[in-house]
Chains A and B, each alone.
Chain A
Amino acid sequence: MENLNFIDLTYTTAVILFLVGFVGGMVSGFIGSGGAFVLTPAMMSLGVPGVVAVASNMAHKFPKALVGAHKRNKYGQVDIKLGVVLGIFAEAGVLFGKHLMVGIKESFGAAGTNLYVSVVFVVVLGIVGSLVLRDAIKEKRGEATAKATTELPPLTRWVRSINIPWTMIYFKSMDARVSVLFLAPMGFATGLLAATIAVGGFIGVPAMMYFLGLPALIASATELVIAFVMGLGGTFFYALDGYVDIRLAMIILGGSLFGIQIGAIGTTYVKDYVVKFVMAAIMLLVLVSRFFYIPGYLSELGSIATMDTGTRGLLDGAGLGALAFALIFGATMILLALYKGMRDHRLAQAAAPAAAPAVPAAASAGAQLSPTGRFERFLVASDGSEFSAAAVREALSMAGKCGAQVHVMSLVATGVEHEALGESILKQELATAQAHLDGIAVQAKAAGVACETHLVQGNQIDREIVDLAERVNADVIVMGRRGRRGLARLMLGHATAQVIGLAHCNVLVVPRAAHVEGRHILVATDGSRFADAAAVTAGNLARVCGTPITVTSVHKPSYGPERRAEAEEAVARVVAHMQGQGTAAEGRVIDGDPAEAIATLARGQGADLIVTGSHGRTGLERVLLGSTSERILNETPCAVLVVKAA
């Protein structure tokens, strides 16, 4: 059995690989496609055989694709069925490609695979790089590169119109049936290219867009599923023959994950054509680099006259130099773009307050509802879904009554998982989100409410909401509720619960069907200072709105009679306080599970608002100790105001 010829892992090699991974990651994040077209040639230039370079590259990519696909699926951008179907055919392509590579290696040695990989690189990068360069030049000149049309292209219409019995599959993302006979070659070609140069997306994404008519956003997200399926399979098939050098793969991954974020963030600071120029320049430089190596491989194989050592060294040196220049050029361009963009943005922001219109006058002191909960600035988070529509509706309605200002935010997700999300696609998503925010601003204007919109990019919705709430000094955060329960809540997290835990201000959670009309308020107390804060806020709300209020405490049957007496005393104390303030209040101590009992009582009383305190637990503490507030949120159909103690 032959030796695999893995390279020796010295510290110098490790540092070079890490830096190459870092630049490859930056390029990936910046241009929105796999940086593997940089990584594979770079590994080969360090002496790694072509087959090992491709195999190791796949090994570092597939877990990233899994994480990316999972995250983007949460935003509804992934057609899992299409991804899996194409992924299965891509797997066949990978298997075929791998056999081709191994066959070439066994017949012609490492020089054979090196030549094969290099020629495919030259052809593919030549085609794709030229197209990207053409687009960049057109954009720079101000010519449109994409026609804004809602009509499907003729090719897509034809693909969707062909009905071949027993082969048709329905796909939700297209709302159409497509024959598997069209999908098979698409998937196969994607897999074959991935097994050859470790970048299948060059075929997969355009094929989904132009043949199937998928929007670029869905195509790039679905590509992540394909990348995972074929990457996992490809890695396994290559690993079965021992070709995956996991040491190299993980060092490259180490640098790549640092670089991706810089690249992805860089795109938000530059113009579209800059991204495309950088992408085209790197692709064409890598092409030139590979081109210099080809005569050497041909010489090794005996296809051309044997080359003397000096000439071979010169050509290999030129190839390595071109690759190094491509990497340094790419990294410099991206870092410069990022630095310049951030500096300009900072200067623009510093100048903004002087030019900005005055903030609308806040509500009068009389409209403030409580010393612990001023209601002058609302922050409402909206993602355009039916769940957040209720939050927007109630925020505008309540702000109208209180004379409060409303800040509306929408989040466009960015992060490592958006490696395959091209810059133009991101802008398309930003435009959609901005249009949604503009629609809310119009609604607010019609309702006579002062409204400011915020389009935020980030990868943690809870964190971005709390961050913005602090920046705009929000008194209340208003959120919708998705109703995730049980294990799913624990595993996937719950943005609302996290916001409640982290925010300094109060949080109003509005389920889809809830309407806060001031019919009846239910306040829950356990005698703690957190519950006292809730009681004070509820009392002030009830007094201003003239709403009757019920104060309740829940006694678990397993507790002793002393605890029941304490509960009765706590309720009586709060009721007395409210009656002293002139509010119609009654007290109820009920038996049962706190969350269930409060939800049942709210329904029985016809309450449209439950007010509760928060212990401010998050993370593991919340998982272990539980949160009554959060469980109330899951049990009740009415709005819940979670009051944060000062």
Chain B
Amino acid sequence: MSPSTPPKGSPWQSRALATTLILGAASAGLYFLLFLYADRFAAIAQATHEGHKLYALIPIAIAMVFSFVHGAFTGQFWDLLGLRAKK
């Protein structure tokens, strides 16, 4: 652990662990769905290419959701492990 790791028993430690676990589970769930429907996503792209232009919004929405959920998770993850910037 880095020297700047919060002291044991600090008030947010259990809170941070719970948040990290929840966000991690949400992120894992999203990636599970991505693999589950991988062929469907490729088919949607092909359908867009062939003229169903409204489908173009799907990858944009997916990118936003993944970025927010997974971004929040990774930020918490390293912090919890004590990897923090030099003070």
Contact = CB atoms under 8 A, between A and B. Distances in A.
B62 interface: yes
A239 B48 contact: yes
Closest 9 pairs (CB-CB, A-B): A242-B49, A63-B67, A239-B56, A457-B85, A242-B48, A246-B59, A268-B86, A242-B45, A257-B74
5 contacts: A4-B46, A240-B56, A246-B58, A254-B31, A470-B7
A172 B53 CA distance: 39
A409 to B, nearest CB: 10
A359 B29 CA distance: 51
Interface string B44-82: 011111110101111110111011101101110110000
A298 interface: no
Interface in A250-278: 250-251, 253-254, 257-258, 260-262, 264-265, 268-269
Contacts of B2: 342, 345-346
A261 B83 contact: yes
A177 B85 CA distance: 38
A257 B83 contact: no
A44 to B, nearest CB: 18
Interface string A420-463: 00000000000000000000000000000000001111110001
Contact of A239 (B6, B15, B60, B78): B60
Contacts of A62: 63
Contact of A471 (B7, B57, B66, B85): B7
B52 to A, nearest CB: 9
Contacts of A59: 59-60, 63
Interface in B1-49: 2-3, 6-7, 10-12, 15, 27, 31, 34-35, 38, 41-42, 45-49
B5 to A, nearest CB: 9
Contacts of A341: 86
B63 A265 contact: no
Contacts of B66: 63, 250, 253-254
Contact of A416 (B38, B46, B62, B75): B75
A6 B46 CA distance: 9
A245 B12 contact: no
B49 A235 contact: no
Given A245-B45, A346-B3, A416 B71 contact: yes
Contacts of B83: 261-262, 265
A515 interface: no
A149 interface: no
A414 interface: yes
Contact of A345 (B3, B12, B58): B3
A467 B48 contact: no
A460 to B, nearest CB: 8
Nearest to A460: B79
Given A239-B56, A246-B45, A416-B74, 12 more contacts: A6-B46, A59-B63, A235-B60, A236-B60, A239-B58, A245-B42, A246-B59, A246-B62, A247-B34, A254-B27, A416-B71, A470-B6
Contacts of A463: 12
A48 interface: no
A45 B55 CA distance: 28
A482 interface: no
A319 B87 CA distance: 41
Contacts of B85: 264-265, 268, 414, 457-458
Which one of B35, B48, B57, B74 has the highest number of Cβ atoms from chain A below 10 Å of its Cβ?
B74
A122 interface: no
B44 to A, nearest CB: 8
A407 interface: no
A458 B7 contact: no
A14 B59 CA distance: 18
Which one of B7, B57, B75 has the highest number of Cβ atoms from chain A below 10 Å of its Cβ?
B75
A467 B10 contact: yes
B46 to A, nearest CB: 6
A257 B70 contact: yes
A67 B68 contact: yes
B78 A250 contact: no
A84 interface: no
A470 B10 contact: yes
Nearest to A3: B46
Interface string A209-250: 000000000000000000000001001100111111111011
A243 B53 CA distance: 12
